[in-house]
């Protein structure tokens, strides 16, 4: 039986095995997907050694906090990983470990399905970590030419200018000044508001009088409706959480590992329902 893994520091609430094992059994693939918690960098190193030796391992997914660390163990990276400098998917290709990023694909597809017009809109991204970079890359691939980025640590928002210098304009916003300007779309890529800290929000709409965003997206899917999305809805904004992104990035990873063709819409809906 082939093996696949999700690695990360804390995976107790992860629903990735449910999604992947459902896809695998649907396609009759003799493989199992399981979680491996790695408390530190040393354990990450050991995991990579184990994977290299075990002929049954096809690949693995990576989540917080190893999406950037994993790159130093990879022999090749895809074009998008070269820019984003973070990977969520690795495939063993012969002796080599090849890094991919399917987060941006999942994000892009979920946003496309919302059906809102993003052309020439003022878009604010909250956060400047790996998730923010995948989000920005996805927006770039959808034709967006500039984005505002507010991050608690301003320097990190500013450093994204260089990361994306050849493809899109980054306009850094100081964290304390994020309520001062008008935005059409606001996207949260930080972990603020995630279970169990469900009371907190990265953007308090009560403080926001500059305008009502048309659309507000939260990459968090647990809880399904964060305080951030709840407040945005009260203001009248259309909202979307990160569940579709999670499912779609998983589908894209399976495509990389097993050359699976597109999954039917009804099967995807079945997975989404089970995750709710």
Q: What Cα–Cα distance (Å) separates residue 47 from each residue in 18, 63, 148, 203?
A: 22, 14, 37, 37
Binding mask 39-78 for ligand ATR (x = CB under 6 A): -------------------------x--x-----------
Kindly tell me which of 24 and 168 has the beta carbon lying closer to ligand ATR: 168
Which residue in the set 109, 122, 156, 161 belongs to the binding site for ligand ATR (CB under 6 A)? 156
Kindly tell me which of 156 and 238 has the beta carbon lying closer to ligand ATR: 156
* Distance of alpha carbon 118 from alpha carbon 261, whole angstroms: 28
49 is in an annotated binding site: no
Phi, psi of 43 (to 5 degrees): -70, -30
Q: What Cα–Cα distance (Å) separates residue 84 from each residue in 55, 136, 137, 247?
A: 29, 9, 7, 20
Kindly tell me which of 38 and 192 has the beta carbon lying closer to ligand ATR: 192
Kindly tell me which of 100 and 258 has the beta carbon lying closer to ligand ATR: 100
Q: Is 43 a catalytic residue?
A: no
Q: What Cα–Cα distance (Å) separates residue 18 from each residue in 13, 25, 35, 77, 131?
A: 11, 11, 11, 27, 22
* Distance of alpha carbon 7 from alpha carbon 243, whole angstroms: 19
Binding of ligand ATR by 176 (CB under 6 A)? no
Max Cα-Cα span within the chain: 58
Binding of ligand ATR by 130 (CB under 6 A)? yes
Which of 52, 67, 108, 238 is an active site residue? 67
Catalytic site residues? 67
The site for ligand ATR (CB under 6 A) is made up of: 64, 67, 127-132, 151-153, 156, 189-192, 202
């Amino acid at each position: 039986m082939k093996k696949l893994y999700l690695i990360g520091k804390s995976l107790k609430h992860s629903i990735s095995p449910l999604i992947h094992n459902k896809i695998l059994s649907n396609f009759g693939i003799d493989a199992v997907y399981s979680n491996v918690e790695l408390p530190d960098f040393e354990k990450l190193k050991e995991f990579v050694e184990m994977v290299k030796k075990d002929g049954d391992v096809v690949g693995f997914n990576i989540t917080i906090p190893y999406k950037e660390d994993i790159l130093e163990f990879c022999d090749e990276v895809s074009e998008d990983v070269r820019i984003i400098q973070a990977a969520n998917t690795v495939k063993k290709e012969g002796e080599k470990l090849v890094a991919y990023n399917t987060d941006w694909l999942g994000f892009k597809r979920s946003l496309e399905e919302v059906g809102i017009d993003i052309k020439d809109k003022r878009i604010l991204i909250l956060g400047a970590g790996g998730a923010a970079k995948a989000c920005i890359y996805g927006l770039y691939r959808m034709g967006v030419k500039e984005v505002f980025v507010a991050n608690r640590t301003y320097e990190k928002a500013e450093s994204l200018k260089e990361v994306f210098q050849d493809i899109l304009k980054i306009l850094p916003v100081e964290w304390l000044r994020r309520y001062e300007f008008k935005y059409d779309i606001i996207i949260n890529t930080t972990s603020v508001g995630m279970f169990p800290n469900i009371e907190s929000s990265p953007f308090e709409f009560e403080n926001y009088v500059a305008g009502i965003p048309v659309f507000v997206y939260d990459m968090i899917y647990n809880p399904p409706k964060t305080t951030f999305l709840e407040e945005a809805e009260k203001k009248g904004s259309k909202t979307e959480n990160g569940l579709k992104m999670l499912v779609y990035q998983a589908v894209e990873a399976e495509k990389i590992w097993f050359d699976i063709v597109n999954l039917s819409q009804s099967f995807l809906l079945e997975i989404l329902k089970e995750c709710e």
